[in-house]
Chain A
């Protein structure tokens, strides 16, 4: 059996204000998997992802990434964890005063990359997301889909083993969303483990990947080659334990 790359054991998360965002989560993701995380708004998808890149610590339970317990890591080790995990969001989170090239290069600079490797690596990442010709534009001069592609290039620049995408197509039209999905598939095909939280039903149905359904902080369904599922949109897909 392959060692899981992400593992959650009996994870519970209660926010300081008392909200129980995650309840008794057990989850195991093997390297190279492509996983959709679906569920109603407030069901805990973002909260779960934040535990993986240690934006938050679980109140109870273990979060293990590449065999290391994330909440055991010292503060000084967190940057190294983050370099192993790329993250993208619905709102892209690009720096408005930097060009596309600079935004992507920035993620390399902060790791202390030598100046000589930066242009080559950045151009490679921009080529992957098909954005080389627009490298010198500011984010405000790009479409939403292009901005998300720039964000993906930035997330991939440090060659992460995991890519977390929290509603990556939430702000995008269907065509752009499809572009993003194709890029994610391409990245996944190179071996990167991918976790996508989404409300995009059509996308999930077409992609035929593993689907984890969350509801009120719990995993209520976890199926391979699954379809989108929610409480009011009842299951018509092949279930697996």
Chain B
């Protein structure tokens, strides 16, 4: 059969087909408003919960990082310390165990770093001399040993003070892990049920239009031509649901963040501009994907049957 030469007519005007498909989608949604509402709202719930978890996890992450510093002990030496003792200190520190590295920070270096951090905000030239002490940075291999190691280092010669991230920070990190896990499990279940609901909605549309699909197949429509309107319908529902959720999350975050800053100003809460654009795009993308997948499942089931 000379199918190739007899069917040179393939998609010469894409815009026209999109127009046809969109018209079909609108007709379908109008014919089946309740099911469309069900799909849209489940996607919305999925996106809302996902968004909520992402915000919590991202902020707890930031908080934990802030609180722990870099999982290292800062050791400030007193004025009796002189740079010739660096190697002695290093070997003593390594003997304690769980010490990954011992990094000497001369006071000049510390001053340079400080100046860089403050940039032009403060004129350090007003100070006479360098008030900063020599110090060491001592990263450890396990946060649980921060405290015992720090206590032992504090007893070494010429150590003025030691400073390390607080234990609470690690508890927070662990909590964050648990939240992540719980969130992941909830989201997987939600994703599955959203898929189910969308594919059932689309299945109703498929069922309502089975005669039309039969005729399309009879007159030689390719599978993809038949699938498109249904997939577009699913995507539309997913997009509307997730866009609503993203808008809601965006607005509430922008309201809540300044309030939190006012009442608990020491907490490092992410600025809306830092996460919202990514979150919004991600959520809408997910909504479209779940919509497309859900409808693909049901239309494929029909076509293969």
User: Which residues of A does B touch, CB under 8 Å?
Assistant: 53, 65-68, 75-84, 87, 93, 95, 106-107, 109-115, 117, 154-155, 157-158
Question: Which residues of chain B in 3-18 are interfacial with respect to chain A, using CB atoms and an 8 Å cutoff?
Answer: 3, 6-7, 9-13, 16-17
Contact with A along B206-222 (1 / 0, CB 8 A): 00000110111111111
B219 touching A154 by the CB < 8 A rule?
yes
A83 touching B222 by the CB < 8 A rule?
no
Interface assignment of B145: CB less than 8 Å from any CB of chain A? no
- Write 11 A-B pairs (CB below 8 A) sorted by A numbering: A79-B220, A80-B1, A81-B3, A93-B214, A93-B218, A95-B215, A106-B216, A110-B225, A113-B9, A117-B9, A158-B219
User: Which residues of B does A touch, CB under 8 Å?
Assistant: 1-3, 6-7, 9-13, 16-17, 20, 211-212, 214-223, 225
CB distance from A167 to the nearest CB of B (A): 16
By a CB distance below 8 angstroms, the chain B residues around A68 are: 1
- Count chain B CB atoms within 10 A of each CB in A76, A79, A93, A106 and give the residue with the most: A79
A107 touching B6 by the CB < 8 A rule?
no
By a CB distance below 8 angstroms, the chain A residues around B215 are: 93, 95, 106
| Contacts A83-B6, A93-B218, A115-B16; A75 near B1 (Cβ below 8 A) | no
A80 touching B3 by the CB < 8 A rule?
yes
B13 touching A82 by the CB < 8 A rule?
no
Give Cα A192 to B13, complex, Å. Answer: 30
- Count chain A CB atoms within 10 A of each CB in B7, B13, B16, B17 and give the residue with the most: B7
A79 touching B13 by the CB < 8 A rule?
no
The list of the 9 closest CB pairs from A to B, nearest first, reads A80-B3, A110-B221, A82-B220, A83-B220, A107-B219, A114-B12, A79-B220, A112-B10, A66-B1
CB distance from B3 to the nearest CB of A (A): 3
